[in-house]
Structure 1
Amino acid sequence: MGAEARVRNVTLREDLAQRLDAVLEPSGRSTAAAIEEAIELYVRDREHELALIDEAIASLAEGKAHSAESIFAWMDSWGTADELPPPEPDVDLDGR
């Protein structure tokens, strides 16, 4: 059996409610299902962001950081065919 559910009331702006209705109509999906999916995606993304922040704080506590050059090179590659992975820390704060 699925997880226990909790009722929440959600108020949407009228324009957003109309847009939601328009995209749901062809599929026959319910508003509740779409809102639950949207919240699931939001929570997943936010949990991931928070985990990355925790990793960055831990890295700083260990004296490791990223140079501006490595961050900018990574950011400059976003959306290109040669997109780089996130850089590893390349600055040792303890050895300044």
Structure 2
Amino acid sequence: MASVDLSVRLEPSVKADLEAEASMTNQTAAEVAEAAIAQYLSGRKVKREAVRQALQEAEDGVFVSEAAISRWVESWGTADELPPPEPDVFPGR
């Protein structure tokens, strides 16, 4: 795949960290920056999709009650840890 040039202004400390990471991983600063940008954008895409799904569930009137969430959280780290709760509130139905 062809690449294109991009100029970015960085704070001196960020540039130093970028160059140090590149040196430690035997990569160029551009390779480290590209990987970091790609990972950041991928994370943003995942977050947007999660928000979209949550908004759709809210519009559909599908919710998990506070009580169910509390039981689940209280079970964390115990021998009887519960699976994530299923929706149990359906106001539109």
TM-score by length of 2: 0.75
Equivalence for 1:89: 87
Quote how far apart the aligned CAs of 1:15 are: 0.9
Is 1:27 aligned with 2:25?
Answer: yes
Of 44, 47, 67, which residue of structure 1 is paired with 2:45?
47
Question: What fraction of aligned residue pairs are identical, expressed as a percent?
Answer: 26
Matched residue SS, 2:24:
coil
Quote how far apart the aligned CAs of 1:59 are: 0.8
List gaps (5 residues or longer) in structure 1: none
Quote how far apart the aligned CAs of 1:26 are: 2.9
Q: Name the Cα RMSD after superposition.
A: 2.6
Quote how far apart the aligned CAs of 1:89 are: 2.2
Equivalence for 1:7: 5
Quote how far apart the aligned CAs of 1:27 are: 2.7
Higher strand share: 1
Pair 1:12–1:41, CA change in 2 (3 A): same
Q: Whose Rg is larger?
A: 2
Is 1:61 aligned with 2:77?
Answer: no
Matched residue SS, 2:27:
coil
Moved more, 38-47 or 85-94: 85-94
List gaps (5 residues or longer) in structure 2: none
Of 30, 34, 37, which residue of structure 1 is paired with 2:35?
37
Q: Measure the CA separation in 2 of the matches of 1:35 and 1:50.
A: 22
TM-score by length of 1: 0.73
> Number of aligned pairs?
91
